[in-house]
């Protein structure tokens, strides 16, 4: 799950009452960590699978990639079935971002924002309550460090998705603020982690739950009242892809903004190539210099 970070998300399309749930993707990365969802209890168990091998210089942590990926696929398939059932049986009601905006303004319903701080601090819905289901993992134990390195190498450097861990106090924090009969509109950036949160809340006894289809990223400017330093659609991007302007969200803005916006990111791309070229030439010259020293 991003850890439900639930790692990068694309779309899959189960239909419920002639509507698509577009964010339950088998291609999605819910966070880049091994995760387990328990359908029999209100808990999420995160596990890290690794083995140690001894080499000359010490111990190297090596992820068991095949087992890891297979387990993620199985866990995700099981979670999708449960989430589809929740929506199909109307235990969790589906709302579009526009409908969520109307519900907040006209019915005074509460928007529960379950995104991590890295997304929340960029943009948020005015008046929303923030209780993250996953938060950035800042621990430095060997297992976490190994997972962070694997996440970075496997695409985190490009997407900017951090390693997240499940907040074991999530349910208790929600219960402290809201009675179980409260109308809660649950939202995350792309719509997947919020479904996981809905499942936990439903299993804990919350019965008036609403899920924002597609997440806050799917909202148009007029759908919700937004606060924060950046557009809501940009809250979930990062890494080198954001720096170079190669995300879908930035391409949409570039198409509207014109050449000035495109030139900025074109200049950054040229700069990256120049730096890479300089480093390559520098490495070559350093290698020649070291060879000369050894030969004398």
Q: Are 7 and 155 in contact (CB under 8 A)?
A: no
Is the C-alpha dihedral spanning 100, 106, 112, 116 positive or negative? positive
The residues that are catalytic are 188
Side-chain half-sphere of 54: how many Cα atoms within 13 Å? Answer: 0
Q: Are 189 and 119 in contact (CB under 8 A)?
A: yes
Looking at the chain, the number of H-run helices and the number of E-run strands are: 10, 15
Q: Are 214 and 22 in contact (CB under 8 A)?
A: yes
Q: Could you tell me where the beta strands, DSSP code E, fall in the chain?
A: 15-16, 19-20, 35-37, 44-46, 50-55, 58-63, 92-95, 110-113, 124-125, 129-130, 134-136, 164-166, 184-187, 209-212, 226-227
Q: Are 135 and 116 in contact (CB under 8 A)?
A: yes
Phi-psi region of 222 (alpha: psi -120 to 50; beta: other; left: phi over 0): alpha
Distance CA 101, CA 216 (A): 11
């Amino acid at each position: 799950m991003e850890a439900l970070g639930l790692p990068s998300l694309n779309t899959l399309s189960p239909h419920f009452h002639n509507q698509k749930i577009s964010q339950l993707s088998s291609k999605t990365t819910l966070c880049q960590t091994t995760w387990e969802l328990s359908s029999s209890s209100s808990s999420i168990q995160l596990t890290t699978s690794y083995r140690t091998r001894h080499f000359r210089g010490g111990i190297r942590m090596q992820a068991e990639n095949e087992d890891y990926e297979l387990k993620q696929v199985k866990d995700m398939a099981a979670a999708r079935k449960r989430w589809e059932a929740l929506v199909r049986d109307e235990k969790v009601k589906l709302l579009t971002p526009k409908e969520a905006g109307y519900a907040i303004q006209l019915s005074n319903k509460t928007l529960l924002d379950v995104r991590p701080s890295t997304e929340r601090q960029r943009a948020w819905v005015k008046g929303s309550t923030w209780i993250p289901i996953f938060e950035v993992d800042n621990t430095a134990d060997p297992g976490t460090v190994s997972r962070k390195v694997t996440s970075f190498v496997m695409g985190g450097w490009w997407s900017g998705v951090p390693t997240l861990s499940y907040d074991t106090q999530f349910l208790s924090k929600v219960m402290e603020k809201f009675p179980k009969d409260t109308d809660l509109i649950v939202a995350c950036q792309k719509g997947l982690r919020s479904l996981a949160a809905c499942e936990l809340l439903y299993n804990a006894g919350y019965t008036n739950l609403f899920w924002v289809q597609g997440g806050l990223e799917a909202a148009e400017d007029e759908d919700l009242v937004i606060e924060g330093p950046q557009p809501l659609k940009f809250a979930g991007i990062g890494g080198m892809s954001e720096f170079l302007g190669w995300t879908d969200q930035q391409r949409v803005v570039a198409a509207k903004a014109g050449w000035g916006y495109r030139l900025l990111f074109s200049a950054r791309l040229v700069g990256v190539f120049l730096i890479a070229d300089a480093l390559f030439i520098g490495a070559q010259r350093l290698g020649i210099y070291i060879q000369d020293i050894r030969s004398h």
